[in-house]
Amino acid sequence: MNTSEQNKPIFPKGDPAIAEYFTGQAWVKMLVPTGTSLNTSVANVVFEPGCRNNWHTHPGGQILVATHGIGYYQEKGKPVQLLQPGDVVQIFPEVLHWHGATPDGEFTHIAIGTNTQLGVVNWLQPVTDEEYSGLRSAK
């Protein structure tokens, strides 16, 4: 494989994410669906700059593998974490959190839904501009 091939994203950008649960534009490419005996889903998610998902929880948990760009991950009541390519986040069942891009660039992660026989996601309120911009001044 030559260098120019390695530069390409390995997944297509996928379908627009459900707008109700995101601030800004994201795209989701499902790679492994829920509902199989693996009890695990896999999706590639691309966030445009400034985009983040709503506060949410996963009944069975989730694992994020950051692959391109720089992202944010925050659990309720904890400092935001910067995610760089190769960073991995373990999100345990029922932990309230959100994730997304920084204001300055697109961010991509693989999202692995775990124990999906327990349910996939419970969406809550958006991450407000105040919450999101507060992160930047705290850096």
List interacting residues with its own copies (CB under 8 A).
Answer: 1, 3, 6-7, 10-11, 31-32, 36-40, 42, 60-61, 63, 65-70, 85-86, 88, 90, 92-93, 105, 110, 112, 114-115
Q: List 50's β-bridge partners, or say none.
A: none
Any alpha helices (H) in 2-117, and if so which ranges?
Answer: 3-7
| Residue 138 neighbours by CB distance under 10 Å | 8
Task: Give the nearer residue to its own copies in terms of CB position, either 19 or 38.
Answer: 38
Task: Give the nearer residue to its own copies in terms of CB position, either 18 or 32.
Answer: 32
Q: How far apart are CA 33 and CA 114, in angstroms?
A: 12
Q: In this structure, are residues 97 and 39 in contact, taking their beta carbons and an 8 Å threshold?
A: no
CB of 4 vs its own copies, minimal distance in Å: 9
- The counts of H helices and E strands in the chain are 2, 13
CB of 129 vs its own copies, minimal distance in Å: 25
Task: Give the nearer residue to its own copies in terms of CB position, either 57 or 67.
Answer: 67
